[in-house]
Amino acid sequence: MRRRLARRAGTSESQLGLAEKKKNHGGLGSEYQVDAHPNSSANDESWPRDGAAWTQRLKEEYKALIAYTQMNKSNDNDWFRISAANPEGTRWTGKCWYVHNLLKYEFDLQFDIPITYPSTAPELELPELDGKTQKMYRGGKICLTIHFKPLWAKNSPRFGIAHALCLGLAPWLAAEVPILVDSGMIKHKDNTTSTSES
């Protein structure tokens, strides 16, 4: 069926597959983004307490994050800013945002690199959403156990911080923010300031 459609449209089967991904994911979807991500070449031994090997892993993490950010910007899909909050690169802070109904909702983002990283994925935290959704643990840690953690386990140690953002945080924001907005659990900053002024 797919080949027939490709022949009719005068495109290759792979081009059709990319078009289907764009259609199904509203642009360049997560499958395409994972294929475009640089994977870490560091071995499983490079974890936060491993000295020189961790420094090399951290360089690769930065390269992957820069590549992912550039890819997002080139696709007009810029949605986060993060940086290491300590010289060791074990604590990260920043901002992430989601646009819903043409309004930008921005949240603080923070996470620690677990001692067992990269075998264990970082627990991404959005502290200001703590207690506002059932798909969150205490302290604002987003729930990624069902969909993301098995994927991480399968691809460890190749996956890194950029993958956690792309395949963990981005889908979570896309699923949860519209529900939180529509239920009134979060309000746009313009709505809250105009309400307080009146």
Beta carbons of 9 and 16 less than 8 angstroms apart: yes
| Beta pairing partners, 106 | 97
DSSP state string for 137-161: ETTTEEP-TTTHHHHHHHHTTT--H
What distance in Å separates the CA atoms of residue 23 and residue 19, rounded to the nearest whole number?
Answer: 6
- Is 166 an active-site residue? no
What distance in Å separates the CA atoms of residue 170 and residue 147, rounded to the nearest whole number?
Answer: 13
What distance in Å separates the CA atoms of residue 169 and residue 127, rounded to the nearest whole number?
Answer: 14
What distance in Å separates the CA atoms of residue 7 and residue 1, rounded to the nearest whole number?
Answer: 10
Among 143, 174, 181, 185, the active-site one is 143
What distance in Å separates the CA atoms of residue 10 and residue 68, rounded to the nearest whole number?
Answer: 31
Other CB atoms within 10 Å distance of the CB of residue 101 = 9
Q: 13-25 and 2-9 are packed helices; what angle lies between their axes, rounded to 10 degrees?
A: 100
Can you tell me whether residue 84 is helix, strand or coil? strand
Residues acting as catalytic residues? 143
